[in-house]
């Protein structure tokens, strides 16, 4: 009996996706629970598993857009796995029935005849990112304010605590957990930054679900660290590490990406010295971290080289005044330059 493999509903408002890669091919025997293919949507990429065991017959090729509920394969559950000896690879193995060599997915991406350019469809995730960025620019009055912070104290504390922290918690102590903690303190001091405009109303959030931007080969995603105010440094570092792994492997779920109240983006990991981050709608604020660079600064009347980081806060000026934005950013700066102001629990 052949069992149909249909595209499942993977989230509210998602109506289609792309079969980005088949993990099994036609003729393979698959077990229930085996990953069959990866479905890439405008929000996440997710692996679709077999619901039954049998021999797979893939109907749609890699790269094809499919609708929710569409049949993309069948599994013949009446067949059992066949033991076969490994075959020698020959030149003919790479030749299709028509006698022509099969093209790779890259070669099938509508490449121009003269090879001077390649035209290919944007992935659903990249199209969604593009639409979100344009929408953010069109629907909010985005303004950015800047400051800088001396990272000496955090670097010293991190170096001093790293060994014991890693041994105790099984995860390294990074800079992001400090900035999440500092952002929570700043959001408490300036609550309006933790809100959003909805139609003619302003929604004030009294919880702290902090989005942490993660770059992947498929584009930028922003998984949410839930209840960041209630989590320890170790909990935050575990969440960040888990999300980074899921993002790289395309295993983030819709619920991992929705409902954040504020976002932090670290362009410094790519070497960015200064930038103006764009809001993550419908949020009203986003903090941009940047590369730590030794720069000459005045300390007690003397010039010293200190590890400095530029900070940028982009905010929706419709809801947040300049005074509030600057106050928020200074609070972050104070917490980073004097970590004792944070609830240190390691």
Residues recognised as catalytic: 317, 321
**3-state DSSP percent of the chain in helix, strand and coil, to 5:** 30, 30, 40
Q: Which residues contact 248 (CB under 8 A, 6 or more apart)?
A: 216
- Let me know: does 207 contact 231? Beta carbons within 8 Å: no
289 burial class (0-12, 13-18, 19+ CB within 10 angstroms)?
buried
Backbone torsion region of residue 73, taken as left when φ is above 0, otherwise alpha when ψ lies between -120 and 50, otherwise beta: beta
- Let me know: does 190 contact 183? Beta carbons within 8 Å: no
Output DSSP code: residue 187.
Answer: H
- Dist. CA 312–CA 314, nearest whole Å: 6
- Dist. CA 234–CA 212, nearest whole Å: 16
- Dist. CA 186–CA 326, nearest whole Å: 11
Range list of H helices, the chain: 124-139, 152-169, 176-189, 233-249, 254-257, 322-337
At 185, list the tokens.
């303190």
Q: b vs e for 70-89, b when ≥16 Cβ sit within 10 Å of the residue's Cβ?
A: bebbbbebeeeeeeeeeeee
- Dist. CA 132–CA 127, nearest whole Å: 9
């Amino acid at each position: 009996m052949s069992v149909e493999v249909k595209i499942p509903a993977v989230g509210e408002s998602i109506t289609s996706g792309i079969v980005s890669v088949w993990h099994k091919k036609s003729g393979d025997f698959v077990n229930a629970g085996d990953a069959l293919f990866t479905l890439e949507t405008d929000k996440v990429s997710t692996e679709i598993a077999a619901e039954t065991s049998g021999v797979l017959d893939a109907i749609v090729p890699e790269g094809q857009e499919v609708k929710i509920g569409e049949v993309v394969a069948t599994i013949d559950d009446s067949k059992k796995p066949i033991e076969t000896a490994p075959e020698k690879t020959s030149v003919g193995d790479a030749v299709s029935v028509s006698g022509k060599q099969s093209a790779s997915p890259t070669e099938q991406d509508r490449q121009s005849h003269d090879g001077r350019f390649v035209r290919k469809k944007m992935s659903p995730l990249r199209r969604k990112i593009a639409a979100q960025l344009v929408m953010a620019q069109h629907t909010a009055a985005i303004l950015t304010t800047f400051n800088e912070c001396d990272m000496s104290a955090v670097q010293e504390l991190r170096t001093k605590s790293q060994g014991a922290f890693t041994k105790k918690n099984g995860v390294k102590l990074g800079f992001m957990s400090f900035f999440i903690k500092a952002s929570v303190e700043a959001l408490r001091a300036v609550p309006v930054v933790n809100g959003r405009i909805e139609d003619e109303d302003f929604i004030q959030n009294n919880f702290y679900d902090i989005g942490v931007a993660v770059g992947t080969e498929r584009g930028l995603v922003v998984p949410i660290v839930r209840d960041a105010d209630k989590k320890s440094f170790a909990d935050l570092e575990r969440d960040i590490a888990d999300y980074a792994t899921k993002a790289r492997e395309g295993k983030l779920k819709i619920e991992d990406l929705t409902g954040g109240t504020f976002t932090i983006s670290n362009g410094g990991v790519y070497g960015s010295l200064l930038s103006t981050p764009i809001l993550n709608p419908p949020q009203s604020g986003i903090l941009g971290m940047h590369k730590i660079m030794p720069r000459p600064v005045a300390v007690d009347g003397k010039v010293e080289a200190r590890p400095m980081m530029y900070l940028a806060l982009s905010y929706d000026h419709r809801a947040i005044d300049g005074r509030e934005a600057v106050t928020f950013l200074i609070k972050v700066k104070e917490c980073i330059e004097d970590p004792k102001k944070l609830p240190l629990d390691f």
